[in-house]
Amino acid sequence: MNKGTLKKVFRYIGRYWFFLLCSIVCAAVTVTLTLYIPVLTGDAIDCILEPGKVDFTTITEILKKMAFVITGTAISQWVMGVCNNRIAYYVVRDIRKDAFERLQILPLKYLDAHPYGEIVSRVIADVDQFSDGLIMGFTQLFTGIITIFGTLIFMFRENVGITLVVVCITPVSLFVASFIARRTYKMFKLQSETRGEQTAFIDEMIGNQKVVQAFGYEEKAMKRFDAINDKLGEYSLKAIFFSSITNPSTRFVNSLVYTGVCITGALSVIKGGISVGTLTCFLSYANQYTKPFNEISGVFTEFQNALACAARIFALIEEEPQVPEPEDVKVLGEAEGYVELTDVAFSYVPDRKLIEDLNLKVEDGKRVAIVGPTGCGKTTIINLLMRFYDVDAGSISVDGTDIRNITRESLRENYGMVLQETWLKAGTVRENIIMGKPDATEEEMIAAAKAAHSHSFIKRLPNGYDTVLSEDGEGLSQGQKQLLCITRVMLCLPPMLILDEATSSIDTRTEIRIQKAFAKMMEGRTSFIIAHRLSTIVDADIILVMKDGHIIEQGNHKELLAKGGFYSELYNSQFALSE
C-alpha cells in the first residue's frame, strides 16, 4: 500500500474531524449494542429450563431490552452512515476543487504533453472510484475493527479458555488477507492508468470523427481501441481475481475459528464449565468476530483500488505549477503598447532549438505582421508575448517593464486575441460575447456585433443573443464561430491586439468587411498579425519575415517586394496565377 498516498488522504479527512469523531463514536455504540444482543439471547435461553418450566416474566423483560437495543443500534448506524457520506463527499469535493485549481495554474507545456481525455479521467473517473472506496472503508472499517476488539472483550469476560482458541487461529486470517492485498494494488494501479488511456483515446476519436471517417481510419481506430480494451480487460481480470479470492480465503479461516469454538465449547458444556446459553452466546460471538475479517478484507481490496486512483489524482494536484510571480510584481494598467524583444531564445524541447537571438522593437500603435513558412516560430512568438510560455533566455518587455515582473492577469487583460482555432463555451451567445467584459451594456454588445458583422446571423438564431450554444458552438459554422470570437475582442477593445489567422474561416466578402473593421479597431493600438494570406497584411507598418526561428527580413510591403528576397518569393507564389 502506498503510505504517502494514505497520508495525503488523511490530511483531507482531517478537515472534517467532527464528522470523523461522530462516526467513530456511533461505530462504538453500534458495536457495543450489537454485542449485547448475544448476551441477552443467552440469558433468554437459560430461562428455558425444561418442558413446562419457562420463566416468561424474565424473558419478557429481556425482549423489552432487546427492542431498546435494536432501536438504538439502528439509530446509531443511520447517524454513522450520514457522517461517513458527508466525509467522503466533502473530501471528494475538495480534491476535485484542488485538481481544477491546479489545472488553472499549470504551465501549458503540461497540458500539451498530456491527452485531455486522460486528465478528464483523473478528475472524474478516478475520483469517483476513490469516493466509492472511501465510503465503503469508513462504513465497514471502523465498525469492523471495533467489533473485533469488542467481541474479544465480551468473550474474555465469559470464558478465557475458549477465547484463547479464537485468538490463536486469528493471525492466519490476517496473514492470508495481507498476502493477497499486496498483490492487488499493482493491478488496480495498472487498471486505473489503462482506463485513463482508454478515455483519452475515445475523447480523441469522438472529437475528430469527421477526420476519422474522411480518411477511412475507422478500422485502424477499432484495432487500437481493441488493443487498449484487451489490456484493460487483462488488468481488470487479474485485479478482480486477486480481490475475489480474499473473501473465500478468510471465510475458510473463519470457519476454522467457528469450529474451534464449537468443539471447545461443547466439551466445556459436557463438563459443566458453562451453560448452553453461554455456548450459544459464544457461537454468536464467533460469527460476529469473524465477520469483520471478511468485510475488512473486502474493504481492503476496494481500498487498494481507491488508493491507486487517489495516487493518480494527487500526482496531478502536486504537478509543478507555472513559475510563480515575484513579490514585487507590477500590475499593468492600460498599456501604451511599446513592446520590445531582446535576445530572446526559446525551444519547446531542450535539444531542439527553435528561436534564437530574436530582437524586435515595436512602437506603440504600430501594426506588426509576422509571416513565414509553417513551423518557423510565428505562433511561438504569440505564446511568448502572452506569457503562455516563458523565454529560455533574453527578455520581453511591455512599456519598458519585463513581462516576468508583470502579473499574468494584467498583462493578458491588455491583449485582445483572436485565434485560428475558435473556442466557445456552453452557454448563450450573449455570455460568450461578454466573456471579457461582463459589465457591457446591451448597446455596446450590439455595436461590437455589428462591427464584427455577426449581428445579422445572430438575429437569425432561434432566440437571438439568448440562443443557448452547446459545447464549442455545435450547430454554428466555423465562420460563424470565428465571427463570435472576433465580436468578443471588438467589445473589449484592449490596447494591444493579436490576430492569428483571425479570418481564416470567413468567406472573402465578409473578410473584406472584417478587415475594414480590424483596420478601424487597430488605429492607435499595437497589433500583431499572423497571416498566411499576404493580401491581408499589405498595410502593416512592419512585416517580419521569419524562417527557422529567426527574422530574416524586416520592412513594409513595398520595401520587402523591392528587395526581391524571401518575402517577395512568398508573395509572388500566392499571386502568380492571378497576375
Q: What is the pLDDT of residues 516-541, one digit of tens each?
A: 777 777 778 888 888 777 767 777 88
In angstroms, rounded to a whole number, what is the distance separating the alpha carbons of residues 2 and 7? 9
In this prediction, residue 181 carries a pLDDT of 65
Q: What is the largest CA-CA distance in the chain?
A: 125
| pLDDT (tens digit per residue) in 61-111 | 888 888 898 899 899 889 988 888 888 888 888 988 988 888 888 877 787
Which H or E run includes 398? strand 393-398
| Confidence bin at 578 (pLDDT 50/70/90) | very low
| pLDDT (tens digit per residue) in 290-345 | 677 666 666 666 677 777 788 888 888 888 887 777 777 888 888 888 888 888 88
Can you spell out the DSSP letters for 315-355? HHHTS--SPPPPTTPBPP-S----EEEEEEEE-SBTTB--E
Sign of the C-alpha dihedral, residues 326, 330, 334, 340?
negative
Q: Which domains does the chain have, with CATH numbers?
A: 3-317 (1.20.1560.10), 339-575 (3.40.50.300)
- Per mean pLDDT, which range of 58-62, 173-177, 557-561 is the poorest? 173-177
Quick one: which of 38, 37, 120 has its CA closest to 72?
Answer: 37
Higher pLDDT, 329 or 177: 329
Is pLDDT at 1 greater than 60 in this prediction? no
In this prediction, residue 424 carries a pLDDT of 83
Mean pLDDT of the 553-558 span: 84
Q: Look at the block and give the residue holding cell 454513522.
A: 80
In this prediction, residue 577 carries a pLDDT of 43
| Confidence bin at 579 (pLDDT 50/70/90) | very low
